[in-house]
Chains A and B, each alone.
Chain A
Amino acid sequence: MQTKRKTLLEARNLTKTFTTPEGKPFTVLEDIHLELQEGEIVALLGRSGSGKSTLLRCLSGLLRPSAGEVRYRGQPVQGPMPGMAMVFQSFALFPWLTVQQNVELGLEAMGIPAPQRRQKALEAIDLVGLDGFEKAFPKELSGGMRQRVGFARALVTEPEVLFMDEPMSALDVLTAETLRLELLNLWQSGRLPLKGILLVTHNIEEAVLLADRILVLSSNPGRIRAEVAVTLGHPREREDPAFQELVEEIYCILTTRPAPERATLEPLTLGHRLPQAPVGALAGLLERVAEGPDYGKEDLPRLAEEMRLEVDDLFPLLDAAELLGLAVLQAGDIQLTAEGQRFVKAGLEGRKRIFAERLLQQVPLVGHIHRVLNTRPTGRAPEERFLRELEDYMSTEDAEKVLATAIGWGRYAELFEYDYNTGLLSRSEEVASPAAG
């Protein structure tokens, strides 16, 4: 180990709680300890909704932790500090300002007079390779170029810490790769006063490619569940066996549930956050696993690579498969269960039947909706009714997503019907009058 480096940013016992619309608190982050040392790139990985963005915003001072504290160079963080900068997933450029005006914005906040502002901004624009586009408006630029403006705007203030929230996920694969390499070059060239980078990502390979340390967050509530040091030298090659081993290791961590989470998995509650997995994609995934060379078992990194899925697309599918008991996840592999095999082999009608069975057995929310509709004489209920119930457990936004997922599944399984225009759920015809058949 090298000499002890200075701590740039640290979080102690950081906990973040939001309140549901019903006024009940729900914890998104719990007891997070984290340090960012000088000269380090740290990546935060975790499933969708695990609180990565929330953690990044707490660390940068945009949000205030509910408990615990964040320190930047030993000072408590109460708002964004001078020396911090952020790059956003959606670029967050001001569409009414030109590239140069966007870049100058951070300098204006620092009170730098116009001539210096102009010079520094032009230098920064030059640095990210956008010279010639100073007078362009963001909407005239491609995604990749917009993110370059995002980088220029962050770097022009000469920050020590750079926060990045999925900076590449809105870009196409090639552009993202180019930008990653350029960022790494800049970082290593020492041309910047930058001392540390904190990167949130969905992309496991991106994390392994860039970071010196990877922190993996668990979900509900988010805790730091594992820390993986990446000791590979640069440049890193994806084909390198050591690289692939690391990727595999992280998949393993992400697919093995820690003990307490496992315990809560079995008896699901009504308020369980159902993974957003469309039935079509789920069936596609299961089919692919069944057809694969290992007959019902597949290595996750390979699956992700082949199906071109990133963690945020892949894991909801895996979660759903596991939740419904159609597959199990183990040490970075997915394996179909007997039910899963049956599902894949069945025809359309058979699949719907199996799916309905699994849903009623495993997903309390679907069972609840089904029961309510069947006990009502009209056989109908507005979606708001269930939304209100879900809001006991989560934010409105999440509740809407969860209900949409449940409705999508239930419709596929023909457990109930849904009219988008009226927002009414209704009993499915066949179920309603079995005698008529």
Chain B
Amino acid sequence: MRRVFPSPEVLRPRAPFSRWDLVVIPGVLVLLLLLTLALRGATAPYGPNTPDLTVSLNPAHLPYYGLRTLLRMLAALLLSLAFTLVYATIAAKVPRTERVLIPILDFLQSLPILGFLTATTAIFLGLFRGNLFGLEAASIFAIFTSQVWNMTFSFYASLRTLPRELQEAAAMLRLSPWQRFWKLEVPFGLPNLVWNAMMSVSGGWFFVVASEVISVVGRDQDQYLPGVGAYIALAIQQADAQAMLWAGLTLFLLVLLYDQLLFRPVVAWAEKFKFEQSESSDTAQSWVLTLLQRARFSQRIARLPQPLWEWLWLKSARGHRPGVALEPPPKPRLRTRLADLGFNLLIALGSLALVGGLLGYLLGPGLGFGNGQMLRPNPNLNTQLSPEIAQRFAALGITPGADGSVWLSQLCAASRGGQALSSGLKALLETPGVWAPANLAAACQAPLAPAGKVAWPEVLEVFKLGFFTALRVTFFVLLVTLIWLPIGVYVGLRPRLTQWVQPLAQFGAAFPANLLFPLFVVTIAHFRLNPEIWVSPLMVLGGQWYILFNAIAGSAAIPNDLKEAARLYGLRGWNHWRRLILPAIFPAFVTGGITATGGSWNASIVAEVVQWGDTTLVATGLGAYIARWSTGEFNPHVGLGMLVMGLLVLAYNRLIWRRLYQLAEERYRLD
């Protein structure tokens, strides 16, 4: 090769080490050490005879708890990534599968995340029998479900919008599917994926706090996994304000660490995958990435597995075989028709079976009917599911469920249809925490749903609760929009200010809002405010930041020439807003609004029932309903609550956000 000027790289002597290695190598070793430490804790033995897990409120334990929490977040993120790559790829590539996989994803995404915790604990405990990792896995899975869906959607969307020209180039070069995946599809989807992962992790902090305390069937006490979330839960239970402050500090540091050590480097690295033709001026920077890139020896070690990769790479190559056209070969029409028909039939049958199974599980074998009559609700008498009361019922010959539930039908059976109440039972029914119908005999006359199952009138009731929650979500998202939108625009139009405020807003989104709940509880209790109203702001506490930083991002992205044109035409006041600002930030607002409402729905489960020490505030709503029933085993009531919330969120997104989103896409795009 002919080169007139040697590049500076060639001239500089290349020592195998650089001074940056002195930082990177010890850093990596420390990380590995911490990782083994955390892993050892997470895989301790755990069986029926192990004492109940608990945490200590001594702040000295917080670093270790933080480590465990961090590990859970990391595991959930890696799982989400793996799931995303596989699921989205199948949906985008295997013909016909997207018709099933995408609606499933859409539905799972709208299900309340915390409901998954009860649903999966038993499974994971069975899977990792005798090991604490079963509980860990349940917690990780709950975090995973809070993160994965939007990542999967984003990657799927990227796969569907691959630029035509790059697809053609890849086909012409005869890249193998494996090569195409890593050289075209993953890089193209990466910037969006990283962004969504970041959003996910922000939301994840909220749920990590809620998913480290797990109730296990067969144990009276909740299990506190070592972690910051469990620490907070205990502090709330014991109303320990000092411990809350320590926990807040720890979380602050954790979020900061995560951002600096993981996301900033990844975002800076993902810059190069942006599909743009010209260089953008403001690119993300990260000192960690710079450090890693300059540490020569560490890089060399990182490259050790490369021969294996290269081997795989060449193994998958097409060599001299012809490539594949971008279209499938034309198949006989009749055959495709038949295959389509068969597939649709299969889906229809499958969904029918699923719906049937689900209804059977929720409503019992008669699907809510018996002897041609609609069954009446069969309520739980032990309303607080208190173990004490459950024991007293047991003593009187009525066996409560594993979670302490005692059903009306059981009482009826034990008292010959409510006619013959023993004095012990009578006294028990009068205790606080036990609910019984005023006219027991009449209630027992009605056809009751099987024990533990729900009845149709209850379904209606739950929808009504869902409506209350929907009202809260809508009202408060609108309210925070009114507050943050003008502020966001004010900041976004001033670049210097934006630089300062934007990271703060992102940090606010990541910082788990549940930490602030006790403040509200104390205030509400002190002033005797109506919890139905005053508990509601908690739902948007976390979501509001998305509205703020999307408003900032949207208004910061208004092209300068538009701003100047507006100034030239003398647009002022309301007209300025109506003609320039609102249309310009509309798409960003919609994006923020979707995230904020989604988060609020999810948060309703923790926000409609809040506690500080002995004070518990409850607001009427679907979130409270689910929270009340999520104790111990997954049961038809939790199932119903989740199902209804899923349906409502789906409807909410379809009817409101999807329309606004389309409007934004079509009319208000600035490019």
Tell me whether B169 and A92 are in contact (CB under 8 A).
Answer: yes
- What chain B residues lie within 8 Å of A420 (beta carbons)? 667
Q: Is the CB of A79 within 8 A of B325?
A: yes
A429 in the interface (beta carbon within 8 A): no
Stretch of A43-51, A94-102, A207-215, A338-346 contacting B (4+ beta carbons < 8 Å): A94-102
Name the interface residues of B52-84: CB closer than 8 Å to any CB of A: none
Closest CB-CB distance, A75 to chain B, in whole Å? Answer: 9
Taking the complex as formed, is B274 at the interface, i.e. its CB lies under 8 A from any CB of chain A? yes
B317 x A109 contact (CB < 8 A): yes
Interface residues of B in 182-235 (CB under 8 A from A): 183-184, 187
Q: At the interface, yes or no: B326 with Cβ under 8 Å from chain A? A: yes
Contact residues of B: prevailing secondary structure: loop
A372 within 8 A of partner (CB) = no
A residues in contact with B165, CB < 8 Å = 88, 90-92
State the CA gap A60–B173 with chains docked (Å): 11
User: Contacts A111-B317, A131-B2, A131-B3 known; A96 to B325 CB distance under 8 Å?
Assistant: no
A406 to chain B, nearest CB (A): 19
Task: Name the one of A66, A79, A86, A90 contacting B324, with C-beta atoms under 8 angstroms.
Answer: A79
B249-281 at interface with A (beta carbon < 8 Å): 272-279
| Chain A residues within 8 Å of B325, by CB | 61-64, 78-80
Residues B313 and A108 in contact, CB atoms below 8 Å apart: yes
Q: How far is the CA of A131 from the CA of B171 in the complex (A)?
A: 27
B contact residues around A78 at 8 Å (CB): 322, 325, 329
B671 contacts A by Cβ under 8 Å: no
CB pair B1 A80 closer than 8 Å: no
Question: What CA separation (Å) do A321 and B205 show in the bound complex?
Answer: 65
Q: How many A-B residue pairs have CB under 8 A?
A: 123
Shortest C-beta distance, A84 to chain B (Å), equals: 7
Contact segment of A132-140, A284-292, A303-311: A132-140
The chain B residue sitting closest to A67, CB to CB, is B330
Residues of A within 8 Å of B666, CB to CB, are: 423
**Which A residues lie within 8 Å of B314 (CB)?**
108, 111-113
User: Could you say which of A64, A80, A126 contacts B327, with CB atoms under 8 Å apart?
Assistant: A64
* Closest A residue, CB atoms, query B667: A421
* Contact A96-B318, Cβ < 8 Å, known A105-B175, A109-B176: no
Contacts of B174 in A (CB 8 A): 79-80, 82, 106, 109-110
Q: Which of B187, B318, B326 interacts with A63 by CB under 8 Å?
A: B326
CB distance from A153 to the nearest CB of B (A): 8
Q: Does A114 contact B (CB under 8 A)?
A: yes
Across the interface, which residues of A come within 8 angstroms of B179, CB to CB? 108-109
A57 touches B168 (CB 8 A): yes
* Residues from 289 to 345 in B contacting A, C-beta threshold 8 Å: 310, 313-314, 317-327, 329-330
Task: Name the residue on B nearest A140 (C-beta).
Answer: B279
CB pair B322 A79 closer than 8 Å: yes
**Does A28 reach chain B (CB closer than 8 Å)?**
no
Cα-based distance from A80 to B169 in the complex (angstroms): 10
Q: Which residues of B contact A93 (CB under 8 A)?
A: 169
Q: Are A80 and B274 in contact (CB under 8 A)?
A: no
A94–B184 contact, CB under 8 A?
yes
Contacts of A8 in B (CB 8 A): none
* Known pairs A80-B172, A139-B277; A110 contacts B319 (CB<8 A): yes
Task: Tell me if A64 and B173 are in contact (CB < 8 A).
Answer: no
- Quote the shortest CB–CB distance from B597 to chain A (angstroms): 25
Q: In the assembled complex, which residues on chain B have CB atoms less than 8 Å from the CB atom of A55?
A: none
With contact pairs A63-B326, A126-B2 given, residues A105 and B173 touching in the complex (Cβ less than 8 Å) = yes
Min distance, Cβ A267 to any Cβ of chain B, angstroms: 33
A82–B174 alpha-carbon span in the complex (Å): 8
Chain A CB count within 10 A is highest, among B276, B320, B323, for B323
B323 near A86 (CB under 8 angstroms)? no
Given A95-B274, A131-B3, the answer on whether A82 and B322 have CB atoms closer than 8 Å is yes
Query: Which of these, B272, B273, B321, B330, contacts A64 with CB under 8 Å?
Result: B330
Instruction: Knowing A110-B320, A131-B1, A421-B667, say if A80 contacts B171 (CB, 8 Å).
Output: yes
- Using CB atoms, name the residue of chain A closest to B328: A64
**Interface check B157, CB cutoff 8 A:** no
Interface string of B505-540 (1 = CB under 8 A from A): 000000000000000000000000000000000000
Contacts of B175 in A (CB 8 A): 105, 108-109
**A425 CB to nearest chain B CB (Å):** 16
CA of A254 to CA of B2, assembled, Å: 47
A363 within 8 A of B: no
Chain B residues whose CB sits within 8 angstroms of the CB of A96 once the complex forms: 187, 272-273
* A122 close to chain B: CB less than 8 A: yes
Is A79 within 8 A of B187, CB to CB? Answer: no
Give A281-321 interface residues, CB cut-off 8 Å to B: none
| Chain B residue contacts of A153, Cβ below 8 A | 173
Closest partner residue, chain B, to A114 (CB atom): B310
Q: Are A62 and B171 within 8 A (Cβ)?
A: yes
Is B241 at the interface (CB under 8 A from chain A)?
Answer: no
Q: Which of B176, B317, B330 contacts A66 (CB 8 A)?
A: B330
- In the bound complex, how far is the Cα of B323 from the Cα of A7, in angstroms? 22
B166 at interface, CB cutoff 8 A: yes
- CB of B1 within 8 A of CB of A126, answer yes
Residues of B within 8 A of A60 (CB): 172
Closest CB-CB distance, A358 to chain B, in whole Å?
Answer: 32
Smallest CB separation, B229 vs chain A (Å):
38
Complex-state Cα separation, A306 to B320, whole angstroms: 49
Q: CA A90 – CA B277 in complex, angstroms? A: 10
Residues of A within 8 A of B273 (CB): 95-96
Cα distance A131–B3 in the bound complex, in angstroms:
8
Would you give 5 A-B contacts (Cβ < 8 Å), ordered by A? A79-B171, A82-B174, A94-B183, A131-B3, A132-B7
- Residues of A whose CB lies within 8 Å of any CB of B are 57, 60-64, 66, 77-82, 84-86, 88, 90-97, 105-106, 108-114, 122, 126, 131-132, 137, 139-140, 153, 157, 163, 420-421, 423
